[in-house]
Amino acid sequence: MSLGNPPSDDRPSVGRALAQARLAAGLTIDEVSSITRVRAPIVLAIEQDDFSNCGGDVYARGHIRNLARAVGIDPEPLVQQYSDEHGGAAAHVPVVPLYEAERIRPERRRPNWTAAMVAAIVAVVGFVGFTSFNGGGGGKPATAAKPSVSATTAKPSPKPADPKPEPSNSAIAAVPAGKVTVKLTADVGKSWIQATDSNGRQFYAGNLDKGESKTFTDAKKVKLVIGDAGAIRLFVNGKDLGPAGTDGQVVRLTFTPGDPQAG
C-alpha cells in the first residue's frame, strides 16, 4: 500500500479533501499535528494521498478520522472513500474459534481434607450445643419474651427549601468562584476553535458557526486556539473583552482565575 487510486471527476481525493478543509479552517499542518498527535510528516503525506507511512489500512482509517474531526468535517464519507479506493474495509476475524482451540483441559480435583475436617468439627460442636440446650431436666425450653415497642417514631422536620439564586446581569451568569470561565461567541462569522484545560485535556475542537456560543470552565487554566479571531467575541470570568483579534488572524490565548473579572 502506498499511493491512493486517482479520484473520480465528481469528488476530490481523500488527501485533497482534508487539505482543503484544513485551509478553510485557517490551520497549519503543525497545528493539526498538535491537535491530533499525528506526526506532521504523516499529515503532509496523507494530504498528498500517500498512506504508505500509516502502518496499514486500520491506522490509515484512524488517521483520516482524527484529521477530519480536527478540521471540522464529517470523517465517515472520507473513510468510506478510502476503503473503496484501497480494496474495501478490513475483514473481521471470528473470535469464538480462536478461544475454542485454546480451551484448557480441566485438572482432576483432589479431595479437600481440610474442608472435611472443618465440617466434622462444626458438626460435633453443634451436636454438643444442642444436647446441652435440651438436657436441663427434660423440661420445656423457655420461650423468649417478645419485646414491646412503646417508643413513638419522631417525624423528621421538613427540610428548608434551597434559596433561589439571584439573577445576574453579567455576560456569564453564576460564574463559579475560584475558577476560570471563558465564553466564546461567534457573533460576526464562523471560526474553528480548540479549547483545552490545565491538564491538556480537550474540551472541544471544531467549528463554531455564526450565532453559536461555547463556555468552558476549569479550576486553573483554559487554553484556546482560534482560527479566525475577528469572528469570535470573548467573555472571561463574566467580563466582555470584545473580539479575540483581527479578521483571519489565528491566535493562541490562555486565561486563569486571576484574569479580568466582571466589573
Flag whether 245 is in a domain. Answer: yes
pLDDT-derived band at 170, boundaries 50, 70, 90:
very low
Flag whether 170 is in a domain. Answer: no
Q: What is the pTM of this model?
A: 0.41
Total structural domains within the chain: 2
At which residue does the C-alpha cell 460564574 appear? Answer: 175
Question: Which of 45, 67, 85 is the last residue before a domain boundary?
Answer: 85
pLDDT digits (tens, 9 = 90+) for 38-62: 999 999 999 999 999 999 999 999 9
Flag whether 99 is in a domain. Answer: no
What burial class does residue 60 get, using C-beta atoms within 10 Å of its C-beta: 0-12 exposed, 13-18 middle, 19+ buried?
buried
Dihedral sign, Cα of residue 25, residue 29, residue 31, residue 36: positive
pLDDT digits (tens, 9 = 90+) for 139-160: 454 454 454 444 445 565 666 5
CATH code for the domain of 21: 1.10.260.40
Q: Cα separation of 233 and 240, whole Å? A: 8
Flag whether 213 is in a domain. Answer: yes
Domain assignment of residue 73, given as a range: 14-85
Flag whether 133 is in a domain. Answer: no
Question: Which of 85, 112, 134 is the last residue before a domain boundary?
Answer: 85
Flag whether 81 is in a domain. Answer: yes
What integer pLDDT is reported at residue 146 of this predicted model?
A: 52
Question: Which of 85, 117, 148 is the last residue before a domain boundary?
Answer: 85
Q: Cα separation of 82 and 87, whole Å? A: 9
Flag whether 105 is in a domain. Answer: no
Higher pLDDT pick, 243 / 108: 243
For the chain, the residue count is 263
| Residue 89, amino acid | A
Flag whether 3 is in a domain. Answer: no
Tell me the residue ranges of DSSP E strands in 147-232: 180-185, 191-196, 202-208, 213-218, 222-226
CB atoms within 10 A of CB 258: 8
